[in-house]
Structure 1
């Protein structure tokens, strides 16, 4: 598992492109028959991907990093499938996950495995895991189950639908909040006007992006913005002091996950457009 340290905004504004990407950009999540994990010291969130093709993959790692005897001993995890039909096995019980479906697995589950239904159309499981203080039951949610909202307008190139899976009024967790935003055809902007989450960090994973397209992800303090070029199925870490917005060369989908002081989706401090620099 790769480790990323927290960064001070005074330092980040001096980073060049290579250093910015080294600290915040996660370029490769889905490696065949492999579990890829990145631990950020921003609220100790773990961001990862499991890509089972010919064999199942166990949720496991060098546990010395976490100081536990099994992965979910003091953690919970949210899983969203961005590939073909898959199955998550939790303590021997199978949970089928189709494309863009979510599964939450609570603290205390000792064995979790990922597998694909069809190796020709393998599942791709995107993962967010946060420290937990209480056990909540394993629960699945489809797009139809999620709390959804249509926001934006084609006039502003940000007509989109937000799906909230794990949050205060949905699947219950200790602190993890997780969902998905789908931009409609002809729309490119997300989360603009921008905001920050002083009480929570966030991670984005962009997908449904054509191979020849990119998303320009904006981050940094409102008065010191920076950008990272993102491609399909790549993730980015957003500290609590940073904006997190983006514009693409086409429409796209992204998964957002948050960890911190609360589970209130609307807990954010808006940034006035005139204050962006």
Structure 2
């Protein structure tokens, strides 16, 4: 488990590109046969990736969390971004095709990741946050998720948003999770930008070509910076930072939030004239 501490926005103004990437960009989450995790001190979120190959992979953080097992005081949202796989939760099997989501609530001790075909393994992405109450384990296939279509070709942001874990979908303590798909020839996400000072957010960009890149914008509205992001890399977004991006072509990203408020309307929109 990699440990990432929080950053003061005043300090961030002085960061080099290397330091900015070290603190906020997760460059390698998916390693065949392994589970990779990053612990963020922003709302105690854990971001991870799993590729089960020859053997199944158990959800386990060793003694890093100082708990008896991973979900003793946590909940987790999992999205498969690759070929078909399954997650076995205390003996019960949940099959996940590409873009299907699984939520597992507080208190589940035994969670194991499997691929249907080890030669063409699943690619599980997950985000975990602290929890105070147990909610039921539930799977939501992408086919059953309600789509919300926003934007336009004229604005280069014609996109479809799927909400998985939220107040009107899969119930959770504080974790919220969903996915945004941009149509071909559309490259912008989350612009005009916004802030939500009571919650952090994390983006995973995927379904990108090898040479494609997303320029992810972050920082305070008057002190913006950018990160150049490759396929299957994630960005930690502090509560004080905008989170927006533009790609060299279209892409898909998973967004997840955790913090004090459990609502999508808890945001402060940043006017375009305020960005610098």
TM bucket, shorter chain:
over 0.9
In structure 2, the partner of 1:52 is: 52
SS in 1 for 2:144: coil
Tell me which residue corresponds to 2:89. 90
Match of 2:262 in 1: 263
Deviations 1:210-251 (A, max 9, x none): 001100000000000000000000001000010000000000
Listed as ranges, the gaps of 5+ residues in structure 1 are: none
Q: Secondary structure at the match of 1:43?
A: coil
Aligned partner of 1:7 in structure 2 is: 7
Deviation at 1:145, TM superposition (A): 2.3
Offset of 1:147 from its aligned partner?
Answer: 3.1
> Could you tell me how far apart the structure 2 residues matched to 1:235 and 1:15 are?
19
Name the structure 2 match of 1:211.
Answer: 210
Counterparts of 1:180 and 1:162 in 2: how far apart (Å)? 6
The count of aligned residue pairs is: 276
1:115–1:123 contact (8 Å) kept in structure 2: yes
Report how far residue 67 of structure 1 moved.
2.2
- Secondary structure (helix, strand or coil) at the match of 2:54 reads coil
Provide closer, same or farther for how the CA distance between residues 39 and 136 of structure 1 changes in structure 2, counting only shifts above 3 A: same
Contact 1:168–1:265 (8 Å) recurs in 2: no
Please give the alpha-carbon distance, in whole angstroms, between the structure 2 residues aligned to 1:81 and 1:114. 11
Please give the secondary structure, in 1, of the residue aligned with 2:177: strand
Contact 1:147/1:170 (<8 A) preserved: no
**Alpha-carbon distance in structure 2 between the residues aligned to 1:197 and 1:75:** 22
1:10-49 per-residue CA deviation (whole Å, 9 max, x = no partner) reads: 0111101000000000000110110000000000000000
**Aligned equivalents of 2:2, 2:132: Cα separation in 1:** 24
Q: Secondary structure at the match of 1:15?
A: coil
Residue 225 of structure 1 aligns with which residue? 224
Give a deviation string over 1:90-118, Cα, whole Å, max 9, x none: 00111000000000000000000001001
Q: How do 1:103-114 and structure 2 match up within 5 A?
A: 103-114=102-113
- What is the TM-score with the length of structure 1 in the denominator? 0.98
Which residue of structure 1 aligns with residue 29 of structure 2? 29
In structure 2, C-alpha distance between the alignment counterparts of 1:90 and 1:142, rounded to whole Å: 17
Distance 1:144 1:199 in 2: 31
- 1:34-88 Cα deviation digits (max 9, x unpaired): 000000000000000011011100000123x322100000000000000000000
